[in-house]
């Protein structure tokens, strides 16, 4: 069967399930529909602006700049750049993956890209401030001091292993 037909059939079944749930008062189905709408609305508020910024990053930041600071010949400071860049990324991993793809296209090393993705999940400034307000500044500092070295070490190991195996990401364009 064609993948498009399967996709449309599943999407249609989902919509029918939600509609029947609301008509019949089936609470789990209604909650699923409400959660889907809330999630979709949140993504519609974040992603358009994020993708505009990613597009501007792709156009404005020169490939030579990324290669110099995050490429094959960059040193350990590249990991610090990746963590600082990730700390300012809004939208979490929804935005981090397209940015990581752009970094790859501009010549960043795999290990730097892995550091950026992992740091986007754990080192965002707004998240850290929120965490510190509830858990305390001491907890946040300890978490960052433990997490960041682990992220860098695991990224270096994974990047070196993949490069040793000759892994190349496809360009996709």
The predicted pLDDT at position 119 comes to 94
Model confidence band, residue 173 (pLDDT cutoffs 50, 70, 90): low
The predicted pLDDT at position 163 comes to 87
Mean pLDDT of 25-49: 90
Mean pLDDT of 146-153: 96
Mean pLDDT of 114-120: 94
Nearest to 83 by CA among 112, 116, 108, 113: 116
Model confidence band, residue 151 (pLDDT cutoffs 50, 70, 90): very high
Read off the tokens for 117: 């993705």
Check residues 149 and 46 and name the one with the higher pLDDT: 149
Q: What is the DSSP string of 22-42?
A: HHHT-HHHHHHHHHHHHHHHH
On whether the pTM is more than 0.95, the answer is: no
Model confidence band, residue 90 (pLDDT cutoffs 50, 70, 90): confident
> CA separation (Å) from 3 to 9, 10, 11, 173?
10, 11, 12, 22
Check residues 1 and 53 and name the one with the higher pLDDT: 53
Is residue 171 over pLDDT 70?
A: no
The predicted pLDDT at position 1 comes to 65
Q: What share of the chain has pLDDT > 90, as a percent? A: 54
Q: What share of the chain has pLDDT > 70, as a percent? A: 98
Is residue 67 over pLDDT 80?
A: yes
Q: Give the Cβ contact number of residue 114 at 10 Å.
A: 22
């Amino acid at each position: 069967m064609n993948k498009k037909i399967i996709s449309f059939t599943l999407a249609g079944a989902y919509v029918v399930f939600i509609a029947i749930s609301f008509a019949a008062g089936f609470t789990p189905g209604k909650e699923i529909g409400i959660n889907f709408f809330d999630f979709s609305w949140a993504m519609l508020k974040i992603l358009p602006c994020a993708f505009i910024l990613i597009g501007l990053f792709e156009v404005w930041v020169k490939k030579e700049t990324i290669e110099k600071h995050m490429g094959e010949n960059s040193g350990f400071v590249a990991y610090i750049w990746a963590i600082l860049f990730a700390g300012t990324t809004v939208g979490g991993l929804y935005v981090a993956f397209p940015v990581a793809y752009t970094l790859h296209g501009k010549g960043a090393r795999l290990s730097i890209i892995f550091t950026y993705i992992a740091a986007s999940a754990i080192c965002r400034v707004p998240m850290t401030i929120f965490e510190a307000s509830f858990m305390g500044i001491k907890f946040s500092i300890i978490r960052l001091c433990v997490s960041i070295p682990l992220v860098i070490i695991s990224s270096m190991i994974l990047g070196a292993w993949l490069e040793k195996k000759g892994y190349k990401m496809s360009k996709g364009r």
